[in-house]
Structure 1
């Protein structure tokens, strides 16, 4: 998980933050001591901009810092790194739980002489120049430097006056209101910017109309399309996505690809990914795996973690290219080191047999970053061990974190905890509630669990219905449980031929219990089958070759 913040330092060294992706702690950043402007650099008349990536732990403390974009001045880079390390921020939240996250912070070291530009803007604003007034007010609202007697309210008033005549000022006013979650004021400002011809206003208006309280996907699409036709790559990408999803407009893959290509031609990396995924679609008319690989590779080269993850998968699987596990490792490692949870989780599987200790470290990282499958796996590792009161509480906590994100396996496993009393008091009604939540997320194992609960309470007909629902999806455990009840005539009349077919399907899908039952069937000639020593041995060989989980 990554978030972006920008901090700007002027001669006074006061600063603020602009946050995105839901991470908004400008006040906390203001309270942090800003970097010192190294005297050696300042004396030589040099300045610069540094972007630093900080890793926040679950308490908001900085545990790692890396230069993302260097200023070209080692002293400035080191000053920025040191400032962030000493700062503590509120932790990033995911589904109500604090998680680790990478936060990008940009520091701008500006020499006092450059404040002459600000003085020039002030002079222009006093003479009624709307462009100068708008830029000055926008800088005041973004960067927060000390201007005696000039409040934020004064800056907003000045910006609003400029926005009536200047498209850039109207856009800045919209962004200011959006940062402060004033949706209606942002909407009005962006509409003014659109009327004044600002290319990017359509995209911002589309975003506002794509969610509450103004949710209207048809109107959102019309604004995206206006921005797209004006040449804005973000709006072109949004229009492409609308055509793919059929949001606000009928689905149209041709139009989606047209706009995605237009955005990608301007270097828009998300549009490259959209195109690549469409070219990967075997069932689509634009299936072009070589083009997909080229786009993923280009985006990965630019540091995009989703593309690096995709290239890792393609190299590992050999899909459309020679299989190269070393290349897969390299791509996943690059993305994982940037905090990409799925790549960390991929490395966990990749290293399971090669380096179990490293595998476990990557799993722990992915879980700490809030990746629900990794959190579920952390809980499952404990679940598969002997009960231990302290560890079982940790197991339940991992499951709760993943369940809060709607992970179906975690929802089911929490139900199992309540059914068996591991880590929580035994409570069958609570177990049923968690199983039902798992089923609502299309969990086949949730159906089997509900069947098991009903069977435990001797409600065999209901149990068979749950097992059959799971079996109808082809779920191996559902097929096995269905076969068992059909064989015994529990909840229905005994149906041995049908039971045999369900055992066979489950065994063919690798279910070990079904394999064992077929071995006995062929050894003893049960369920209407003739004794067949060769068939029994064949299933014994398959069972022996099947790894134990």
Structure 2
């Protein structure tokens, strides 16, 4: 239950160490403080609260409410908010799909230097069926995003340069971009960096980077990476392919458990409603 007594004065005066202690170790503990900060007009908190609502992190998921909070932050001047409004329209989170509105939001934030909006706009220009493919323009936005430190954009610049999308391939330049992305922690960049190292004969170093990629990648990427690791015919890469499948299976088990828990919670709420109505009827009778 959110404590409505968390005022702006409390938020402003509380010591950071005390605030960290109050927020606790879980999203559910932090939720009242994030919401209070959002209600008191702190833009970063409005975006954070919207993200918690979108993910159902510590609170019940509510994509429509998430979009409202992103919009509030955007109207207050938050570029993170503008970018997230674009994401909602691109994926239909809390609204109908609207690629034109998503592109408008991304462009608005991208032109003001928001690295993730630049990345998202580039991806939209490269992959969306709603727009004519424009690789040159997509690359320009990926480069701008990469220069602002976005490691995922660095990986995409590497892929453009390696495969020569729209221009001549430059493998050596691509390797430099992959290495920067890998050092920055992007699992796709780590995988591509490892791949180019392996192709160049630097097997031990490549195996180390392949391992780092698989351990940090999302399960969908692990599923895609497994066949490529397997076809190399190297025992260490076969073991990494097994590890990739293990991570996929672990994620599936966790997802199934989460679904069962959600169904159980919904059933408990359904069963509790008749008892609540009965209790309210009894209270009304006592008051009459």
TM-score (norm 1): 0.38
Residue 276 (structure 1) aligned with residue 126 (structure 2):
no
Report the Cα distance in structure 2 between the residues aligned to 1:183 and 1:133, rounded to whole angstroms. 15
1: distance between equivalents of 2:183 and 2:38?
Answer: 41
Task: Return the offset for 1:190.
Answer: 3.7
Counterpart pick for 1:138 among 15, 28, 38: 15
Question: 1:367 aligned to 2:214?
Answer: yes
Indicate the RMSD between aligned Cα atoms, in angstroms: 3.6
- In 2, Cα distance between equivalents of 1:333 and 1:292: 21
Q: Following TM superposition, where does structure 1 have runs of at least 4 consecutive aligned residues deviating by more than 6 angstroms? A: 130-133, 381-385, 391-395
After superposition, the Cα gap between the structure-2 partners of 1:377 and 1:142, relative to the gap in structure 1 and judged at 3 Å, is: farther
**Match in the other structure for 2:146:** 300
Post-superposition Cα deviations, 1:318-368, rounded to whole Å, max 9, x if no partner, equal 112321111111100111122322122113332444215243343233234
Q: Is the 8 A contact 1:316 1:325 kept in 2?
A: yes
> Match for residue 51 of structure 2?
207
Q: Relative to structure 1, is the Cα distance of residues 241 and 384 closer, same or farther in structure 2, using a 3 angstrom cutoff? A: same
Which residue in 2 is equivalent to 1:380?
230
Any idea what the Cα deviations from partners look like across 1:233-262, whole Å, max 9, x if unmatched?
A: 111111000000111111112211222122
Measured in 2, the distance between the counterparts of 1:263 and 1:192 equals: 24
| Higher relative helix content | 2
Distance 1:267 1:253, change over 3 A: same
Question: Does 2:194 match 1:344?
Answer: no
Structure 1 residues 367, 200: CA separation in 2 closer, same or farther (over 3 Å shift)?
closer
Question: Any conservation in 2 of the 1:383–1:395 contact (CA below 8 Å)?
Answer: no
C-alpha deviation, 1:224, in angstroms: 1.4
In the other structure, the counterpart of 1:416 is none
The 2-side partners of 1:303 and 1:191 are apart by: 28
Larger radius of gyration: 1
* Structure in which a larger fraction of residues adopt strand: 1
**2:178 aligned residue:** 332
- Please say if residues 187 and 208 of structure 1, whose CA atoms lie closer than 8 Å, have aligned partners that are also in contact: no
| CA distance in 1: counterparts of 2:48 and 2:76, whole angstroms | 13
Residues 392 and 327 of structure 1: CA distance in aligned 2, closer, same or farther (over 3 Å): closer
How far residue 193 of structure 1 moved from its aligned partner, in angstroms, is 1.0
TM-score (norm 2): 0.69
CA contact (8 A) 2:88 2:95 kept: yes
Structure 2 unaligned segments of length 5 or more: list them: 1-6, 253-288
Residues 307 and 179 of structure 1, relative CA distance in 2, 3 Å threshold: same
Structure 1: any 5+ residue segments left out of the alignment? 1-129, 144-151, 157-175, 386-390, 407-549
Taking a change above 3 Å as real, the CA distance of residues 395 and 365 of structure 1, as seen in their structure-2 partners, is closer
Report what 1:403 is aligned to.
Answer: 249
Query: Counterparts of 2:145 and 2:250 in 1: how far apart (Å)?
Result: 32
Corresponding residue number in structure 2 for 1:61 = none
Counterpart in the other structure of 2:268: none
Structure 1 residues 400-442: Cα deviation after superposition (integer angstroms, max 9, x where no partner): 2343245xxxxxxxxxxxxxxxxxxxxxxxxxxxxxxxxxxxx
Q: Secondary structure at the match of 2:133?
A: coil
Distance 1:354 1:270, change over 3 A: same
